[in-house]
Structures are given as C-alpha cells and as structure tokens.
Amino acid sequence: MDFDPPETVRPLLDRIARFVAEVVMPAEEEVMQRGWNAGGPLLEELRGRCRHAGLWGPQIPTELGGLGLGLVEHGLVSEQLGRSPLGHYVFGCQAPDAGNLEILHRYGTPEQKARWLVPLARGELRSCFSMTEPENPGSNPTMLSCRAVKDGDHYVIDGHKWFTSSAEGAAFAIVMAVTDPDASPHTRASMIIVPTDTPGFERVRNIKIMGDPGEGWASHAEIWYRNVRVPVTNLLGGEGAGFLIAQERLGPGRIHHCMRWIGICERVFDTMCRHVARRKIDGDKPLASRQIAQAWIAESRAEIDASRLMVLNAAWTIEHKGFAAAREQVSLIKFYVANVMQQVIDRAIQLHGALGISSDTVLAHYYVHERGARIYDGPDEVHKMVVAKRILARYS
C-alpha cells in the first residue's frame, strides 16, 4: 500500500495547505473573538474566496458543484483543513452538514434533493442531525423515546433531543424517531426531515460546553419536538431504515473526523515545538533543552504518525473492500486518534505554562472543544468493546 498522496491530489493538497495558511488562519482571531454569528460576513467572504479558487466542497459530488474526492483523498484534505478551527466550515465540508449531505444524496427523493440537498451543497443553508436524547443513552441508540406517529399523510413527531449540533440557524433537522416500537430494535426508528420553522420545533437553549455558550454553527442545542407535523414525503430512505442509514453516515464520517484530528495534532505539535525552542527557562537555555520536552515531542511525533497510517489504512480498506471489512479498523482509529489528540493538546498546554490555558493561542480552544471527540460517534469504551469482541471471537 502506498500512502503517499496520489499524484492526482498532490497539487490540490498544496493549494489547500497554502489557502489555509494564508487566507483562513489569519481570520481565526477575529472570528473566535467576535463569535460565529458576528463573524458570519467574514466567514462568507472566505467561503467566496474558496469557491473562486475552485476549492469548494472537496467531498461534495461534482454534479452538485464540489470536487467529488474519494475517501482517502478527502481524508488527506481533511487533515489540512483541521489545522484551523475554521477550515472545514470555509471549505463547505463541516459536520453535521457533510454527513447530512451524504445521506440526502444517497437516499433523498428527487423532491428532497431539490429542496434540501442542492442549497446545502451550495452552502446556502445549514442543517443539523437530531438523534441523542437527554433521558436515554446515546451510546445505545436503540433506546430512543422520540416517536413519529403516522396521521393520514403526515408524521406527528414528539420527543426531546439534545446535543443537536449547529441547530441554531439551521434550516432543517434530520430527526431520528421511532416509527414502529414493536419492530426489532434496529428497525424501529426512521430518519425524517423537519424544517426548523415547523410549528412545535422548539430550540430550548444552546448547551454550554465547559463554559462556552456557543452560537450559530458552533453550538449544541437542546430541542423539544412537540406535536411537530411534517408530510410523510419527508421520510428519508424507508420506514425503519434509520439505523442502517446512521451506520452509513458514521463510517466515512469517522475517517473525516480522525483526519481532522490529525490536522489538529499537527497544528498543536507545531505550536509546541516553536514554543519550547523559543522559551528560555534557564539563562540562555530554552525549554527544548529539557528531556521532558524532548520526550513529549518524540512521543507525540510517533503517535501522530502512527495515527495517520492507521486512518489511511482504514480509509483504504473501506474504499477497496467495503465498510464491513473495515469495521474493526474504524473502531480502532476512533478511540486511538481521539486519545492521541487529547494527549498532544495536553502536553502542548503544559509546556506553554499559563499561556497554554489562555485564549492567546489556539490550544485552549482545542482543549475545550475537542474533548468531546472521545464521546461522540461512539464513546471510547464502546469502540474498545467492539474491537476486543471481534478479536476475542477469533480465539473462542
């Protein structure tokens, strides 16, 4: 296996890396300080420049105006974009829209595609994905309470959701609701498109993340669905297909997340190396002269490189052998890379001293907002269980 970027994407990766460094990163401070809503016009300007440069929507199919990259190629792009907290948003491949776009493209009816997919792909509207419920374990989504009951040619949805990322300002939600409580656990639920201006859709609040209230795309909402009526034509895929679609959404999504986390690791690693090389701690001697700094740099380098090879290997397996063949690898990378990222950020903060927990560098942002990586899309423990069970089955 050759994990060098294919010749076809190498020039593109170079251009993207330059665009991130020269256009996106300089805008970070303004957006992060003013917030995502006040920073909206600047973000739109950056998106315009990205489109103009022919870089919009790396993973979006070409017929929808994107670059139509495959999983490995987009993984490599995702790494470059992860180097800035604004990267994925500016390039139109941010979660949860990227996942929603993928399932609308695959399962949407022509009418659903015209109404939701096309403007989503153009970046003209945003969306959210509403599955997790405060009263039930998100790690076991067969235990959902939210119900969608058929009433003539409508579904009536009642339920309580939270951690619906990016709901503030979203035009529609894809809601996971139980349509047949008597069906087998994995065929009980369906995905239904709910425009957020439907009566009964109530965004209660944005949930604070370690003190940060969040806003706009960078927020996580608690939502009540009370007697929400939507036409049955808003059903996505078949009735009872919710879990099947969710699995398909999560497979490539985990590759994208892991590569984004590797991009974060690289940015943090770079920040850490620059700091220890510059910071004098004993007369003329820099922090880099201390063994602990050297050890953390060497360990971080090894772990980031290992992560990249593991993720590319998983992406390659999905592309060449299908998702089923990569199930174990996908669980491995999900918990391994999330922990590497957390460890690398923590080391960098420690070596920066007080500066590390200030908002004068990007480190504190990543520390707060990437801690969730070990929880969403399956907590560490569940992925470890999946991996161990599959391995041990080969010994029984």
Ligand X SMILES: Cc1cc2nc3c(=O)[nH]c(=O)nc-3n(C[C@H](O)[C@H](O)[C@H](O)COP(=O)(O)OP(=O)(O)OC[C@H]3O[C@@H](n4cnc5c(N)ncnc54)[C@H](O)[C@@H]3O)c2cc1C
**Alpha-helix residue ranges (DSSP H) falling in 84-235:** 87-90, 97-107, 110-112, 118-122
Query: Using alpha carbons only, what angle is made at residue 347 by residues 303 and 16, rounded to the nearest 5 degrees?
Result: 60
Whole-number Å distance between alpha carbons of 135 and 304: 36
The contact mask relative to ligand X for 143-182 (x = CB under 6 A, - = no) is --------------------xxx-----------------
Site for ligand X contains 96 (CB under 6 A): yes
Q: How far is the CB of 141 from ligand X (least distance, A)?
A: 7
Q: How far is the CB of 164 from ligand X (least distance, A)?
A: 5
3 state SS of 254: helix
When binding is defined by CB under 6 A, the residue of 57, 138, 216, 252 that contacts ligand X is 138
CB under 6 A: which stretch of 13-21, 150-158, 254-262, 371-379 binds ligand X? 371-379
CB under 6 A: which stretch of 111-119, 129-137, 194-202, 238-246 binds ligand X? 129-137
Ranked by CB distance to ligand X, the top (closest) residue is 138
Site for ligand X contains 375 (CB under 6 A): yes
Q: Does residue 45 contact residue 105 with C-beta atoms inside 8 Å?
A: no
Q: How far is the CB of 73 from ligand X (least distance, A)?
A: 25
Q: Does residue 30 contact residue 22 with C-beta atoms inside 8 Å?
A: no
127 strand-pairing partners = 172
Strand-pair category, 127-130 with 172-178? parallel
Backbone angles phi, psi at 377, to 5 degrees: 55, 35
Query: Judged by CB, which is closer to ligand X: 45, or 381?
Result: 381
When binding is defined by CB under 6 A, the residue of 220, 257, 308, 383 that contacts ligand X is 220
Pick from 136, 207, 132, 115: nearest CA to 175: 132
Pick from 97, 99, 74, 64: nearest CA to 16: 74
Query: Judged by CB, which is closer to ligand X: 166, or 234?
Result: 166
Site for ligand X contains 129 (CB under 6 A): yes
- Residues between 19 and 78 with contacts to ligand X, criterion CB under 6 A: none
CB under 6 A: which stretch of 6-14, 114-122, 133-141, 238-246 binds ligand X? 133-141
Binding site for ligand X (CB under 6 A): 96, 129-132, 137-139, 163-165, 220, 372, 375-376, 379, 381-382, 385
